Every structure is written in C-alpha cells, then in structure tokens.
C-alpha cells in the first residue's frame, strides 16, 4: 500500500515553528499526509513527544499521522538531519562525527537542502561526494529553500549520483505541511524505508517563506502558542 510522507516538518519545539500536535494532526488529515518526520532544530524532545501523542491517539482508535523522530542538527558545516533517532544528537560537531552519531543509534543520515547556496555553512557538492558512504538520503526537493534555484541544482546533482532521495516541506506552520511530499510503499524500519525510496515519487511545490512567516505570526497569536 502506498503512503504519503513529509520528511521535513518542524514542531513548535523549534523556536521558529508554531506546529503543535493538534495543528499537525489537522494539517496532515486535510492534506492527506500519513507520516511525518519531525526535524526540529537541535532538539529531539518535540519529536519524542509527538511520537508518543500519535501512538496514544492511534491506539485509542483515533486518526493521527505516524511520526518518525528526527532532528535537524547544526554541524560545523551546515545542517544534517537524522531519521529514526533514539536520542538527541548535539550540535556544533564536524559533519562526519554527527553522521556517525546518527548511524550509531540505528538512524539514517538525511542531508537537507544540499544546494541552498544562500546558507553560509553547508556541505559543498565535492564534500558530499567525499563522505558519500556516511550519507543515506539526500533531500532532492525542499519546500522553502532560501536560494530559489536550490531544488533544480539538487535535481541535477542527484541525476548523476546514486544517492537515495526523499523530500519534505520544511513546514514551520500548519498550512504548508505536505506542500512537498513523497508517495512511497509503506514501511516500518529504516531498512524498509531505504528499500521503499527506490520506487518513490516526489511531488509538490515551493512556497513563499514570507507568506509562511506571516502565517506563523497569525497562528502564534490565534492559539497563544509559546515554544517550550
Ligand atoms: Zn528545517
């Protein structure tokens, strides 16, 4: 059975996000997203909490998206994400060390927005090639890169390399959840995800970061959302 997944969503545990668990659930239901990877900036707590809340709801017979606990970690050379994490990965380490910490707990290394040229710190294409054996998945499509040509560059790079690819909205407010999504065969484990990605389809479109910032402001006011 095919499912729809968004591999890059920020919960309100990220200071720049307003996505609470009820807003996530409503957003996913509205947009037909079955599974979400929570990728908060340098914190793992929100991912754990959302996973627990999702499991509680589902075991009570209610609908909720499935959650993969992850983290978007700032390394000394830009951001690296971990999927299927069991514990927090600290920021500020060299990327190779961060990747090893992700792998050592059974997680998958996911490189977000690899060609977002407006980010000062990021892994360059040749560096990605040099550490290819530590990379599991590269984000071929991100919902709101700072550099508008980032997704095109990523697509071109990945056409010539054999990395597995996935994608995510990078949503920080509920209306953009699933704006970028992957349709793929259902999976439970990291190994099954890696297999499923071979036959996956990436779809969606970029959205305006400015409009997203306005919506963040609106939601924060409307629901009095304070970050933990
Ligand atoms: Zn992000």
Residue 228 lies in a domain: no
Give the distance (Å) from ligand 1 centre to CA of residue 97.
Answer: 20
Give the distance (Å) from ligand 1 centre to CA of residue 41.
Answer: 7
Mean pLDDT of the chain: 96
* pLDDT tens-digit readout, 123-155: 989 999 999 999 999 999 999 998 989 999 999
Give the distance (Å) from ligand 1 centre to CA of residue 172.
Answer: 8
**pLDDT value for 131:** 94
Residue 107 lies in a domain: yes
Q: Which of 203, 206, 216 is nearest to 33 (CA)?
A: 203
Give the distance (Å) from ligand 1 centre to CA of residue 160.
Answer: 25
CATH of the domain at 146: 3.20.20.140
Q: How many domains does the chain have?
A: 1
C-alpha pair distances (Å), 35 with each of 3, 13, 84, 201: 8, 18, 13, 15
Residues of the chain with pLDDT under 70: none
Residue 227 lies in a domain: no
Give the distance (Å) from ligand 1 centre to CA of residue 15.
Answer: 12
Give the distance (Å) from ligand 1 centre to CA of residue 2.
Answer: 25
**Domain coverage including residue 41:** 2-222
């Amino acid at each position: 059975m095919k499912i729809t997944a968004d591999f890059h969503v920020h919960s309100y545990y990220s200071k720049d996000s307003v996505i609470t668990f009820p807003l996530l659930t409503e957003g996913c239901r509205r947009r037909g997203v079955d599974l979400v990877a929570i990728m908060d900036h340098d914190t793992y707590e929100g991912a754990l909490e959302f996973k627990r809340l999702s499991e509680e709801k589902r075991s009570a017979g209610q609908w909720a998206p499935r959650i993969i606990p992850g983290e978007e970690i700032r390394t000394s050379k830009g951001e690296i994400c971990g999927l299927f994490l069991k514990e927090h990965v600290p920021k500020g380490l060299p990327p190779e060390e961060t990747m090893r910490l992700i792998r050592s707990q059974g997680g998958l290394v996911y490189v977000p927005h690899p060609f977002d040229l407006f980010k000062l710190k990021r892994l360059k294409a040749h560096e990605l090639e040099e550490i290819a054996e530590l990379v599991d998945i590269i984000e071929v499509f991100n919902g709101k890169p700072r550099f508008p040509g980032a997704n095109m560059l990523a697509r071109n790079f990945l056409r010539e390399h054999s990395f597995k690819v996935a994608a995510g909205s990078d949503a920080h407010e509920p209306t953009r959840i699933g704006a970028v999504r992957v349709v793929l065969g259902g999976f439970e484990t990291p190994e099954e995800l890696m297999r499923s990605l071979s036959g996956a389809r990436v779809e969606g479109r970029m959205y305006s970061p400015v409009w997203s910032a306005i919506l963040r402001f609106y939601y924060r006011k409307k629901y009095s959302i304070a970050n933990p």
